[in-house]
Amino acid sequence: MSRLAILDYDRCQPRRCSMECMKYCPGVRMEEETIVMDENLGKPIISEELCSGCGICTKRCPFGAIRIIGLPEELTDDRIVHSYGQNRFRLYGLITPRDGVTGLLGPNGVGKSTIIKALSGEMVLNLNDLTETPDMKKVLDYFSGTELQNYFEKLKNNGIKPIHKPQYVDVLPKVVKGKVGELLKKVDEKGEFEKIINALEISNILDRTFDQLSGGELQRVAIAAACLREGDIYYFDEPTSWLDVKQRFSAAKVIREVAEGKKVVAVEHDLIVLDYLSDYIHIMYGIPSAYGVVTHPRGTRVGINTYLDGFLKEENIRFRKSPIVFEKRPPQDSTNRPLLLDYTDISKKLGDFSLNVNGGQIYQGEVVGILGPNGIGKTTFVKALAGVISPDSGEVTGDVKVSYKPQYISSDFEGTVEDLLMSITAIHTSYYKSEIIKPLALENILDSSVKDLSGGELQRVSIAACLSQDADLYLIDEPSAFLDVEQRLTTSRVIRRMADEKEAAMFVVDHDILFQDYISDRFIVFSGIAGSSGTGSEPLQKRAGANKFLKEMGITFRRDPDTGRPRVNKEGSQRDVYQKEIGEYYYLDE
């Protein structure tokens, strides 16, 4: 088995340690150059050829900056298409764009964005040659005799025009000035300005500047800008981040229309949207920030099911210990459980916005999913239950302790992740480690400053902080934001298990329907006019709530026969028409 030595340049701090990696390395003690100091980088370099894989350096490093990873034999150096440096991330393989929509499915940090940058011409692959400047001629020679040679040849000679919708739309206000409408008209090369802005519902923000837009508005404007341009291949990196369910499917429909007669590549973590959007799926696996491997294309259904199963049959590789199966659980009878709290009809007026929510009863051990578009009062309702704001009318009865994870997470805590969690509970107990720390993958960031965390890391820490508190009612607002597919599925299992074990109730606001379907016992459905008025239902049985919500969205679901996961029926298909006729939008029992 070959080895990969990964050094986290951000965590490695040679000036603050005694170079324990070199001091305790058996190879160095035998006067081999297993680990040497690079004077230019100011960091140690680990020789993967000389490394024995003993793992002493990984244990001795005071900052946890080193990982020694065993690789399958077939992942040889000649398969590396790009490396970010000595002892840094490596990408094995590349996708070949094809007509229609090709989806990239895998965790964060395994090279999906690197692939898009390479194929869109924003960077040139170095083929693991760190001694010379990356050269397109070498790339063409490497892919000689394949479809990618032809693709890169056209890319080099401007014979193909790629359009790239970037992942991080929140940086747009820093680089784009002017009004939204003026910019979109300027980039409109198809004459479809009115059609696109109406489909994405952004006509009301055309007179605003980019620094006045929310995350969801920036996302829709970025999608519109990409779709209005005339190109040969379109790359959409996480197009549904910040969007609510309705907006996600509106965006997916627009992207599908762009794909007619064109090539589209999409990276997406919402499995239901990815299923609806894609014609083919490339699974990517590996270890985040260490290496990523691209598999051959599969049909959408087979690809997603294979990912959930965690086993690549053709490659004989298991990348997840156990498969993820969506159980077809019978509807839970909440009335058999002890009553936790009771709330009457609740109303609240905030400026020009008014909210009215029907009263209901919440029982111990149940997870209540809250569904609905953005801007119609879901977060306001949760804050009212949490006691963060007081309703104008209505009251909550029941002596309950509340733990609340807000939608927008603050990173202003002074100290490390460990300091934050220790201020809430004893995190080093075996129960806490096995139930929260390990599933949420927090071990490697416990000594990181909260202020330095990425969006996904901060999200997982906030979920852990919320669930760590001793409470009867947990209010969790948008826990899947910034998380990849793997992290979403893991987080859903953690929330579900904590509800069962603590016999506490969970209120979960989220736009990922698969996430909600996986964990929820009942649904509260919100509808209304964004920014004007919102109405919330009483807690509904799962089927009734899902039917109500999906009817308002105008989409129908079916269950995958192998995994039980919900799938969206293609609009206008025989099954879609039939389910709408009989009023069963959720799914039909097979």
- Mean pLDDT on 525-539: 91
pLDDT category, 580, cuts 50, 70, 90? Answer: very high
Examine the fold and report which residue of 309, 344, 370 is the final residue of a domain before the chain moves on.
Answer: 309
Q: Taking Cα atoms as reference points, which of 101, 108, 82, 107 lies closest to residue 93?
A: 82
pLDDT of residue 244: 87
Condensed to tens digits (0 to 9), the pLDDT of residues 84-138 reads 988 999 999 999 999 999 999 999 889 999 999 999 999 999 999 988 899 999 9
**Are 249 and 351 contained in the same domain?**
no
Q: Which of 49, 69, 89 is the last residue of a domain?
A: 69
Higher pLDDT, 83 or 328: 83
Look-up of token digits 């760590």: 468
Mean residue pLDDT across the chain = 89
pLDDT at 10: 83
Number of domains in the chain: 4
Residue 588 confidence (pLDDT): 67
Top-confidence residue, 1 or 170: 170
Q: Which residues contact 86 (CB under 8 A, 6 or more apart)?
A: 38, 45, 130
Do 478 and 567 sit in the same domain of this protein? no
| Pair 1, 114 in one domain | no
Query: Residue 302 has what pLDDT?
Result: 94
Q: 359 and 212 in one domain?
A: no
Q: Are residue 108 and residue 195 in the same domain, yes or no?
A: yes
**Which structural domain range is residue 203 located in?**
77-309
Measured CA to CA in angstroms, residue 139 lies from 112, 133, 207, 277 at distances of 19, 12, 45, 30
Question: Residue 416 carries which DSSP code?
Answer: B
- Does 319 fall in a domain? no
| 117: in domain | yes
- Confirm whether 320 is domain-assigned: no
> Do 130 and 219 reside in the same domain of the chain?
yes
Buried-state track 496-529, b at ≥16 Cβ within 10 A, e below 16: bebbeebebbbbbbbbbbbbbbbbbbbbbbbbbe
Residue predicted with more confidence, 431 or 207: 207
CA atoms within 13 A on the CB side of 195: 11
Is residue 507 within 8 Å of 476, Cβ to Cβ? yes
Assess if residue 324 is contained within a domain.
no
153 and 189 inside one domain:
yes
Whether residue 450 sits in one domain with residue 361: yes
pLDDT of 335 higher than 70: no
**Closest listed residue to residue 276, CA positions, set 246, 303, 260, 256:** 256
> Could you tell me if 369 and 279 lie in one domain?
no
Q: What is the reported pLDDT for 336?
A: 76
In a domain, 173, yes or no: yes
pLDDT (average), residues 184-200: 93
Mean pLDDT of 141-156: 94
Q: pTM, whole model, 2 decimals?
A: 0.86
Tokens 């059609």 map to which residue? Answer: 195
The pLDDT of residue 328 is 60
Check residues 462 and 73 and name the one with the higher pLDDT.
462
* Region 200-219 average pLDDT: 88
